[in-house]
Amino acid sequence: MKKVGNTIRGIIASILAAAFIVSGVPANSINVKAATKVDVSETTQVINKKGNLVYKETGNNTVTITPGSFAKNVLSVTINDEDAKIKNIKCNKKLKYKRTYVSFDEQNDRVTYRFSFYTTAARRYKFKFSVDNQEYFAIINAATPVAKATFKGQELSTKPGFLGNSNYVTELAKGKFNVTMSNNYVLTSIQVGKYKNVTTGDITEPTLYWTTIQNNKKVVLSNERQVVVHDNKNTSESSMFATTIIRVNYKYVKSNTTGCVDYYFNRIVDTDN
């Protein structure tokens, strides 16, 4: 049976989605106990080739978050019945959660919910819930994949106020990057992302290009600020910063879960004074 007002709810959910899905780098369903009408998976923010944040399922079988940080990864639960409800949610009290997104698909009689998480404790949690009296669960992994990462001897962090955070500005120009993984995590690759301003016709946009490096090797940070030119050169925008992203790709050996940690390096390269 279709619910009256689903169209309105769908529109509202779509508008609110961008504001609430954000938790902050690259599907199959997460481990569940049975039933085919419920799909449980991890959804994350990723950087596309243009360097913009977009959302997609990762293919992982757990949801990985960072203790003490605004998590970019969320849990998606899709139910092939608009009238079905998620009930009896249970998890450790140290794991904070919030349903931050809902979307009704009238054409396919389907509803999708997303949950965001936060914790300060570095451990793995089981997030349980039921649909139509059938119990499901997802693993929320807040164990830290990276034990330690350094650039030119300085320790990196994705937390605000530290070198490596997306908003942090540095005067460093080059240095060796070194990373040590935590127990049960394996380093699979290290990528360096730099923006290049690409012009096609009358449009210039920054495009993110990736190269692969070995651990404990020198990285030269970008000197190219991002530039945008549109509307037959009537509209232009330029940054005073050049941004480099160092991405640590990893695998969690106990479940073959894959993921990444991104460290940002923003350098001032152009000012008017």
Q: Which burial class, exposed, middle or buried, applies to 187 when counting CB atoms under 10 A from its CB (0-12, 13-18, 19+)?
A: middle
Return d(Cα 198, Cα 51) in angstroms, integer. Answer: 12
Burial tier of 17 (Cβ tally within 10 Å: 0-12, 13-18, 19+)? middle
Q: What is the pLDDT of residues 175-232, one digit of tens each?
A: 999 999 999 999 999 999 999 999 888 888 888 999 999 999 999 999 998 888 887 7
pLDDT at 171: 95
**Residue 41 zone, left/alpha/beta (φ > 0; ψ -120 to 50; rest):** beta
At 74 the pLDDT is 92
Q: In a 3-state reduction of DSSP, which class is residue 270?
A: coil
Q: In this structure, are residues 173 and 242 in contact, taking their beta carbons and an 8 Å threshold?
A: no
Closest residue by Cα to residue 190 from 25, 57, 55? 25
Contact (Cβ atoms closer than 8 angstroms) between residue 62 and residue 138: yes
Provide the pLDDT for residue 15.
35
How far apart are the C-alpha atoms of 182 and 251, rounded to whole Å?
Answer: 11
pLDDT in tens, the chain (273 residues): 444 444 434 433 443 333 333 333 333 445 444 444 888 888 887 767 666 767 777 777 688 888 888 878 899 999 998 788 899 999 999 999 999 999 998 888 889 999 999 999 988 999 999 998 899 999 998 988 999 999 999 999 988 899 999 899 999 999 999 999 999 999 999 999 999 999 888 888 888 999 999 999 999 999 998 888 887 777 777 889 999 999 999 998 888 888 889 999 999 987 777
Whole-number pLDDT of residue 21: 36
Considering the entire predicted model, what is its pTM? 0.69
Residue 51, pLDDT score: 65
